[in-house]
């Protein structure tokens, strides 16, 4: 149902965008480009074959914005929100779909959870739009309101699409309001709705903030928050060192400006897709670091993509447990279930296979550099949207490969995670055990 729902919205969106009224020129956009745009919007990726700012009319941009919002919240969540607004009860079937779409462990409070997700999303996007208006309205006039709303929704949903220019946010690389507003929205959407609700509950019980409040968080929230801070900090330091003297990116900036640009690059690789420095000018080490950060992505039960921070943390904990020859995998003094470990390994393996196969196929059908092809494939699989100025050069075969990669990257890990949740009757037949050599 989840895979079909995403596919259905993409199909409807592509047909709508192929209508001449959605094109800025008034002429029909080629259907493959309309399909590509609908897919990148619903999958909240951000890769584009035609420039969003100049190729689409206001109507076309509005359609893209709706697709981004649906893709960020999830098709099932949006549909359930309409049912709640209409005063209809959510049956067991809809509650199970919501549970599956967010990969939750309980059916309790699905109606309340859905309302909180939708309301908190609109609140964050509204706050972001107001902050953007302080810059865009003085610069663009009344049009700046539309630009602010579009950018805010795109940032919170980790889509990375914008209607400002052809070079993303590179013109605002030194603007602290644009930079920090965008980073706030990216992290807010990518940290996960469950974490925000857990933080609200924890700080509501305890008036003072600090270690005591952190200790009352669930294990999931502790892992997600810790991993997010570590990845952002380490990514910022790595990019700063790699790009410090690179005149094509941050080499000509002052140190505070370099630090801001490096921080933005580290945050935006968490599946956001906005860029304040040209990605094609990154050094090889920075490109590899960015690919790793893109592949990891944000946290579960949020708008971000990638294999997720908690997945990586569980896999690393499993590896350390194996090295120390421990039977149980633990984090923050709590044991991780074997089912969670298997799920983490399965999701990471599947995502790696999708990204690798996509990169190999893209290299075969295009004339681009290997790093450019891999960067594009990892970005599509992790639904990031960053590109080394390569998407616009794709031929028809390359576009189809990236469309399939974005779709699989968005719904594939979800489907695999659900498959691990299904209870399967244990087999009464056990195969004989035989040792194999590992490593």
Flag whether pLDDT at 108 surpasses 80: no
Using the predicted structure, report yes or no on whether residue 375 has a pLDDT greater than 90: yes
Overall average pLDDT of the 304-321 stretch: 92
Report pLDDT for 210.
Answer: 53
Query: Of 318 and 412, which is predicted with more confidence?
Result: 318
What pLDDT is attached to residue 79?
66
Residue 362 has pLDDT above 70, yes or no: yes
The Cα 187–Cα 195 span in angstroms is 12
State the average pLDDT over residues 378-400.
91
- Asked which of 205-214, 268-277, 401-410 is least confident by mean pLDDT, the reply is 205-214
Question: Does the pLDDT value for residue 211 go beyond 60?
Answer: no
pLDDT of residue 145 exceeding 70: yes
What pLDDT does 314 receive? 94
Q: Is the pLDDT of residue 102 over 80?
A: no
Q: What is the pLDDT of residue 421?
A: 57
- The per-residue pLDDT for range 411-434, each reduced to its tens digit, is 866 565 555 555 556 667 778 888
Give the pLDDT score at 428. Answer: 74
More confident residue, 208 or 404: 404
Q: Judge whether 264 and 178 are in contact, CB under 8 Å.
A: no
Higher pLDDT, 325 or 32: 32
Quick one: average pLDDT of 148-173?
Answer: 92
Structure-model confidence comparison of residues 412 and 16, the more confident one: 16
Q: Is the pTM of this model over 0.85?
A: yes
- State mean pLDDT over 39-63: 92
Q: Tell me, what's the pLDDT at 115?
A: 80
Say what the pLDDT of residue 92 is: 67
> What is residue 74's predicted lDDT score, i.e. its pLDDT?
74
Average pLDDT over residues 80-99: 64
Query: What pLDDT does residue 88 have?
Result: 65
- Residue 436 or 402, more confident: 402
Mean of pLDDT values over 294-303: 87
Kindly state the average pLDDT of the residues 75-81. Answer: 67
């Amino acid at each position: 149902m989840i895979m079909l729902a995403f596919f259905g919205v993409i199909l409807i969106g592509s047909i709508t965008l192929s209508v001449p009224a959605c094109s800025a020129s008034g002429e029909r956009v080629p259907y493959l480009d309309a399909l590509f745009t609908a897919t990148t919007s619903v999958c909240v990726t951000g890769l584009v074959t035609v420039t969003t700012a100049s190729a689409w009319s206001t109507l076309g941009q509005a359609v893209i914005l709706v697709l981004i919002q649906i893709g960020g919240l999830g098709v099932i969540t949006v549909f359930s929100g309409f049912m709640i607004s209409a005063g209809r009860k959510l049956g067991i079937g809809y509650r199970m779909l919501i549970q599956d779409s967010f990969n939750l462990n309980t059916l309790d409070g699905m109606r309340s959870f859905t309302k909180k997700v939708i309301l908190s999303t609109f609140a964050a996007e509204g706050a972001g739009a107001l902050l953007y208006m302080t810059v865009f309205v003085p610069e663009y006039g009344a049009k700046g309101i539309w630009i602010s709303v579009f950018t805010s929704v795109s940032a919170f949903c980790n889509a990375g699409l914008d209607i400002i220019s052809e070079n993303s946010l590179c013109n605002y690389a030194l603007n602290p309001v644009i930079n920090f507003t965008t980073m706030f929205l990216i992290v807010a959407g990518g940290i996960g709705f469950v974490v925000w609700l857990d933080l609200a509950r924890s700080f509501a019980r305890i008036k003072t903030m600090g270690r005591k409040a952190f200790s009352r968080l669930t294990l999931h929230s502790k892992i997600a928050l810790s991993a997010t801070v570590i990845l952002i900090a380490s990514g910022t330091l790595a990019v700063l060192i790699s790009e410090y003297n690179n005149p094509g990116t941050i080499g000509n900036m002052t140190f505070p400006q370099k630090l801001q640009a490096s921080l933005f690059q580290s945050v935006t690789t968490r599946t956001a897709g906005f860029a304040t420095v040209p990605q094609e000018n990154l050094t090889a080490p920075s490109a590899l670091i960015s690919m790793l950060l893109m592949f990891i992505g944000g946290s579960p039960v949020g708008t971000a993509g990638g294999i997720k921070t908690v997945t990586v943390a569980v896999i690393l904990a499993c590896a350390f447990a194996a090295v120390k020859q421990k039977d149980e995998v633990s984090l923050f003094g709590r044991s991780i279930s074997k089912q969670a470990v298997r799920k983490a390994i399965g999701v990471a393996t599947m995502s790696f296979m999708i990204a690798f196969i996509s990169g190999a196929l893209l290299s075969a059908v295009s004339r681009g550099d290997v790093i450019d092809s891999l960067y594009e494939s990892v970005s599509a699989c992790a639904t990031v949207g960053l590109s080394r100025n390569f998407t616009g050069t794709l031929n028809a075969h390359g576009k189809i490969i990236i469309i399939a990669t974005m779709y699989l990257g968005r719904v594939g890990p979800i489907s695999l995670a659900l498959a691990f949740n299904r209870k399967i009757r244990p087999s009464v037949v056990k195969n004989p055990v035989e040792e194999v050599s590992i490593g």
